[in-house]
Chain A
């Protein structure tokens, strides 16, 4: 009896029921607080960009038009984050055996790349303007840039606690993909001390272990966990950095406008742009490093200290000769997966060794572990 996968909803031939799909997406966006925030901020940004565009066309100011285009460009970053938060909730299926949870890491990475590109672009524009200063209509620029600054400040406050990784939080229900990372911690809290950095609060209820019908539904019912968006961390970080970059841009425009109006320093504009570009570039580096590490299947930095001790403990188990070929990597934030091979004595109890090893690594925070037992011949 070959059990076929039941969860192949994703693989049904695409029905042209676009409306249902889109409404499904909306529902999933509105269900989670993080994505709600993202969505509302995206709407705010889009509307502001449209207003700026229309005003720029009406007053014939090229500066405003190009600034509105910049805002549209930034909206794409928000859109990417939103898309990632929707996608990473999808069920796993045949093609994606781990589910789509990596989407958030990828979204953070792509956002980072876009930001670097934006910084490069701003820098080059600054250089162009320094060499050939165009005449800027400051009168119109100042009020609009102040408005933009305010919009971005709103964004910073909204995403602030989400952006930095120590997302705790009240109401930050997170999107599912905490497979094991956050939830299990609540349980094993009694026995073990999790010394490695915890990005999420431990206070979650483990009431709902049972009777969940699969996949999707429970993700969306509420997670009355106070568990936190460890998983959306990458998305939020990317979005937050984008908003910060925007804010810096607005500040730069305001400063340069003031300087130009009051002191006639035309050179202020390009210099501000270049400085801002540099700042943006510098702020992106940590996000990029982390995303690249995850995508390159690097050993999780938070486990690096704990792993050698675990190896030693495993090798001290009775019957274990040696441990080979360990690979540990991050699937998404706080979800670690590992594989290793053990060489054991012929008379060793495989099951006991397996369960002990699982426990040892569970204490370290690795929930998904694949241990291959190779028996040595006498």
Chain B
């Protein structure tokens, strides 16, 4: 179980099980420690320990969130409600953890400020040291467990576009523990298919036989059941890219906790060593703590003034700066935590905001697409990241006629594949018969089908297109409907005998008879 952390060995499921096993291990340990801390705090009636135990509880919650995310993200099959599967769960888990960490930092900040205004002594520093050391050990263990998922594990995450050939032979099946369902468990993003996740034979009219046919370039795709083996490096890349955000969140949480334990131990040690406590009996003057009760202050003042001769009998509580050490260290810890959490927060937020992934240059993609012959214009190009290395792209491609489109479609898909975008949906648009001016115009503009405001248009559209669009906006919906059937009839008359070649990114089955 826990020992398996070294065995990031061959084959995905063991790697994946490692992840889950590690999380479970850490979860069990942390929860146990939380219980221990609560018990100790009751025994020693130390409030500080109780609040620290709640920090541990928040740690437990973070681990639970990560575990739930991992569990959900396994379900990559499409369901009726979640057509993309639950793959994004890990990004969400990372975001939740990052937000919790930030909130925790704020809480600690508030507590530290409170301590500044009202410093507390540590009661029974020995017990605190003991518990603190135990907590530190557990956190260090956690750090080791999650170490290689830690900060900066990014590098090899997005290697696509290159090993095309190798990829073709190794469709990645779903996670092993689940028995492959009878309906086509299609390969996932890695394949050059348009299907992003496995489709279940749901009521939306997906036909299973056709499903296999819709895959492009994957002549040897095994549609049913798990395909064979998959190469190690791909599996690792897969794990790293989609799961690493989640694990980074967990790592940062454990790291924060470890820092907290370090602070507790250091503080308690210094306190134990240097603090001169008030003895239980005998008068004591504590200059550091402002008592809210006015009596003590007056008492101490009168004592100080009146009984100078008995001063040696009055112990003065130890160096005051010790009491301020705790909040200062906490402030430093908060700064460190915020600094390390921010990249994670930013990254998961960017994915959720549907950004174009960093490694894809939209301009060059656009220019490559436009230079294809047969492509008149590209509209509404959107590329976004589902999770990890699964990137989805959509576009409208304007072509003069359907036959050109068929020829060009395969190359368009190839261009997308080279960039690493494997799930694409390309809508062809054909110029209206006989309209020369509409060369650049989007025939079926997404948002502007009936009049409207294109507030947040895509970056690729030029202003010229915009104004063109706006002039076309006066077309009402009913007009659009009527117009096309006429052209339809003319179209079918004009191309009676052309056998259109299939979108031959797919199977041999569809190869045209031409």
Contact = CB atoms under 8 A, between A and B. Distances in A.
Nearest to A363: B477
Contacts of B366: 2
B501 A377 contact: yes
Interface stretch (B222-230, B274-282, B377-385): B377-385
Interface stretch (A234-242, A264-272, A322-330): A322-330
B296 interface: no
Contact of B80 (A295, A299, A362): A299
Contacts of A202: none
Given A214-B457, A378-B513, A355 B480 contact: yes
A4 B444 CA distance: 22
B471 interface: yes
Interface in A220-278: none
A354 B429 contact: yes
Interface in B41-78: 42, 45, 47, 50-51, 54, 57-58, 61
Contacts of B353: 96, 100, 102-103, 106
B402 A187 contact: no
Interface residues of A, number: 113
Contacts of B362: 94-95, 97
A76 B106 CA distance: 10
Given A94-B459, A325-B195, A102 B84 contact: no
A297 B451 contact: no
Contacts of A143: none
Interface stretch (A24-32, A152-160, A336-344): A336-344
A2 B395 contact: no
Given A2-B370, A124-B54, A351 B82 contact: no
Given A8-B459, A349-B492, A325 B214 contact: yes
Contacts of B467: 211
A34 interface: no
Given A132-B45, A299-B81, A349-B491, A97 B89 contact: no
Contacts of A325: 194-196, 199, 206, 214
A374 B503 contact: yes
Contacts of A38: none
A368 to B, nearest CB: 4
A311 B204 contact: yes
A341 B45 contact: no
Interface string A106-121: 1001100110011011
B126 interface: no
A65 B47 CA distance: 19
Contact of A214 (B204, B428, B463, B503): B463
Is the contact region of chain B dominated by helix, strand, or loop, or is it mixed? Answer: mixed
A362 B477 contact: yes
B114 interface: yes
A377 B512 contact: yes
A210 B474 contact: yes
Contacts of A132: 45, 47
A179 interface: yes
Nearest to A88: B456
Interface of B: 42, 45, 47, 50-51, 54, 57-58, 61, 80-84, 86, 88-89, 92, 95-96, 99-100, 103-104, 106-107, 110, 113-114, 117-118, 194-196, 199, 203-207, 210-211, 214, 290, 292, 349, 352-356, 362-363, 366-367, 370, 380-384, 386, 394-396, 402, 405-406, 425-430, 443-444, 446-447, 449-460, 462-463, 466-467, 470-471, 473-474, 476-478, 480-481, 483-485, 487-488, 491-492, 495-496, 499-503, 506, 509-513
26 contacts: A2-B366, A91-B456, A96-B355, A97-B356, A132-B47, A177-B455, A180-B452, A184-B452, A187-B450, A187-B451, A209-B473, A214-B454, A215-B454, A296-B89, A321-B210, A350-B405, A351-B491, A352-B491, A354-B427, A355-B480, A368-B380, A370-B427, A372-B194, A373-B428, A378-B512, A378-B513
